[in-house]
Amino acid sequence: MADVSSEKIDTGKSATGEPLLVFMPSGRRGYFPLGTPILTAARQLGVDIDSVCGGRGICGRCQVVVSEGEFAKLGVTSDAHHLSDFSAVEQRYADKRGMKPGRRLSCSAKLLGDLVIDVPADSQVHKQVVRKRAEMREIILDPVIRLHYVEVREPDMHDPTGDLQRLNMALKEQWNLEGLDCDVRAIQGLQQALRKGEWRVTVAVHQGRQITAVWPGLQEKIFGLAVDVGSTTIAGHLCDLQTGEVVASSGLMNPQIRFGEDLMSRVSYVMMNPGGELDMTRAVRESLNDLAQAVAKEAGCTVGDILECTFVGNPIMHHLLLGINPIELGWAPFALATDGPVQIWASEIDLKVHPNARIYVLPCIAGHVGADTAGVILSETPYEAEEMTLIVDVGTNAEIVLGNKNKLLAASSPTGPAFEGAQISCGQRAAPGAIERVRIDRATLEPRFKVIGSDLWSDHPDFAKETEDFGVTGVCGSGIIEALAEMYLSGILTQDGVIDGAMAATSPRIQADGRTFFYLLHDGQQQQLRITQNDIRAIQLAKAALYAGARLLMDKLGIEKVDRITLAGAFGSHIDVKYAMVLGMIPDCDLAKVTSAGNAAGTGARIALLNRGARDEIAWVVKQVEKVETAVEARFQEHFIEAMALPHKTAPYPHLAKAVKLPEPKVAAQPDGEDGGRRRNRRRG
């Protein structure tokens, strides 16, 4: 047995004069006999070096680099000549796959003298695969499924042992894996795989306990699919489970929209149409199969290569995905069928991936706070923060999380689909031609804007030419936010959200619309894009619900301010945080500490896909989250009414005032006379 140590540097030689081998960055080291393969030494020391082929020089995952020079603290001189010459196995791999200069295959290279070996990040089993923002944690690759290449002893007339039993013996001898279970679906293809691979096969082992798939020869890649099932859109990321890399991403509209734009309208559909939940379940599952096909095609693999899936979604999406009638979520007490994580076979929801693929659905928190919020919490880790952090996942139904490592609260707020362009007269989904950025000149009130698909502003001389293929077709969510904020900062809108008709004398952009006014954002050849008073009201209702939910959680914690705000969700990632605060979507905060996290729910699903320890972690964390039900809180309505104003009726915004010149409060001019369809108010005597 080699003389090994990993706790204390020992600069002396071993009693037998064996060379010292030190691995970096772990610092693990020990004395080993001459001729010991580097991978063998690494395994004895518990060094984190990847290998699928078990040291046969086939997979190339165990590459290392010699660190040359004098290492005084270690008492060694490390030299590349203290490693055996480049072997035929290494040369064959380098010729076939290529290898960076200076790298060696640790399974083939042998120890000939004192050495310091560096294990590159891409050769580590638990490699870092997600580098999030500076304040967020690192995510380490540790998927639930691992591949193991084995050589199985052939049967003969003198040994009647079954193929599965001989496979298990090979796994024990070559990988120290024993006591594994095996599902019948894996057994069904076992004999064909063994014979086609000439008794060399790759085995997928789930959680170190169960054989889930067997392929002939060396299978180097398996994939996992992380999916955020949103009420409006479904987004999926296909990941290489061996490297953690996202190899393909895709999204599509949730077909359930035809049953209702928001969540409660879908529950109402089920109430009014018995069996309607089956139609919605069927629709979303068909879309998931389309999504799986799309990402597999993009990655150049097949859906049969997908062995693991993770899902997040709000409670109603969660239930409908799993084939659970969501009707109990339509009224108090909003009871979930289950709030724990769900682990099932992919075939149980008719997902056409590998026949033995498994699905993990993150836990829900409460009746209106679902697995998508759990995904956001797992992604953003507010439970590890010192700062009081507010996380808002902006969508058709906004989820709000507030707290730090001491306590977490969560709530949902019914914002509706206005932020995504619905219920807006000129609104549309984010697509080429949709206005996404708006600026209004403070003196002339003339607008300029950007559309999706072009980097040019509308006042650029080449704008029309660059956008002629798709034109200017509507205004998406981020565009409507900026338009209203700019209208307020320009004096077009009052603090109460009313278009000031008196400004019509300043600009032809402001025009009468019956008893109200509209702002003409774009006068195109095909259509006019107008911001109407009804559009403004729809956004006010949505943003007031969002703010009121956040303020309610602040009340529960007894705080008047937050230290950090994170906007999550696909829409949240496109909002300019300054304009979100101008509208009063969120409480006042240092703008430098207001950030966007993108689709954090989807990131959480991806973390759970790539790191099995994260599953236990989030299952524990959600049990500590206190749910606040906005529907039964008396103060919610009070906060809601005051939040209708821009940015707010009474709440101060000192941080915002430092960054933006806010207009003085004013009252809109009342419509009068018959001019333009307006009418004068007359006092009766």
Cβ atoms within 10 Å of 385's Cβ, excluding its own: 18
Q: Confirm whether 145-216 and 223-361 share one CATH topology.
A: no
Please report, for the chain, the start and end positions of each structural domain, with discontinuous segments joined by +: 3-123, 145-216, 223-361, 374-417+539-659
Query: Which H or E run includes 319?
Result: helix 315-321
The residue type of 408 is L
Using the predicted structure, report yes or no on whether residue 15 has a pLDDT greater than 50.
yes
Domain 223-361: CATH superfamily is Domain of unknown function (DUF4445) (3.30.420.480)
Fold of the domain built from segment(s) 3-123: Ubiquitin-like (UB roll) (3.10.20)
pTM (two decimals): 0.83
Average pLDDT, the chain: 89
Burial 67-78, CB ≥16 within 10 A → b, else e? eeeebeebebeb
Using the predicted structure, report yes or no on whether residue 128 has a pLDDT greater than 80.
no
- Asked if 340 and 363 touch (Cβ cutoff 8 Å), the reply is yes
- pLDDT at position 9, please? 38
Q: What tokens appear for 566 in the block? A: 């994170």
Which has more confidence, 346 or 332?
346
Nearest-angstrom CA–CA distance, 51 and 363: 33
Give me the DSSP letters along 109-136: -BB-S-EEEE--GGG-TT-EEEE--TTS
Would you tell me the crossing angle of helices 600-610 and 371-380 to the nearest 10 degrees? 80
Closest among 406, 410, 372 to 391, alpha carbons compared: 410
Using the predicted structure, report yes or no on whether residue 50 has a pLDDT greater than 90.
no
Closest among 258, 253, 223 to 240, alpha carbons compared: 223
Binning pLDDT at 50, 70 and 90, where does residue 13 land? Answer: low
Query: What does the pLDDT look like over 259-317, one tens digit per residue?
Result: 887 788 899 989 999 999 999 999 999 999 999 999 999 999 999 999 999 999 999 99
Q: The sheet that has 398-403: what strands, in order across it?
A: 594-598, 564-568, 389-393, 398-403, 408-413, 626-627
- CATH architecture, domain defined by 145-216: Roll (3.10)
Query: What does the pLDDT look like over 439-470, one tens digit per residue?
Result: 999 999 999 999 999 999 999 999 999 999 99
Using the predicted structure, report yes or no on whether residue 677 has a pLDDT greater than 50.
no
Nearest-angstrom CA–CA distance, 361 and 322: 9
What's the 3-state SS for 538-580? HHHHHHHHHHHHHHHHHHHHCCCCCCEEEEEHHHHCCCCHHHH
110-114, 559-563, 569-573, range with the lowest pLDDT:
569-573
Using the predicted structure, report yes or no on whether residue 227 has a pLDDT greater than 70.
yes
- pLDDT at position 678, please? 41
* Locus of tokens 């019914």: 414
For range 606-621, the mean pLDDT: 96
Q: What is the dihedral of CA 116, 122, 128, 129, to 10 degrees?
A: 170
Binning pLDDT at 50, 70 and 90, where does residue 524 land? Answer: confident
Residues 6+ apart with CB under 8 A from 463: 454, 456, 457
Binning pLDDT at 50, 70 and 90, where does residue 422 land? Answer: low
Residues 6+ apart with CB under 8 A from 201: 149, 150, 152, 167, 193, 194, 214, 215, 216, 217
Which has more confidence, 138 or 248?
248
For range 619-636, the mean pLDDT: 91
E runs forming strands in 337-384: 342-345, 358-361
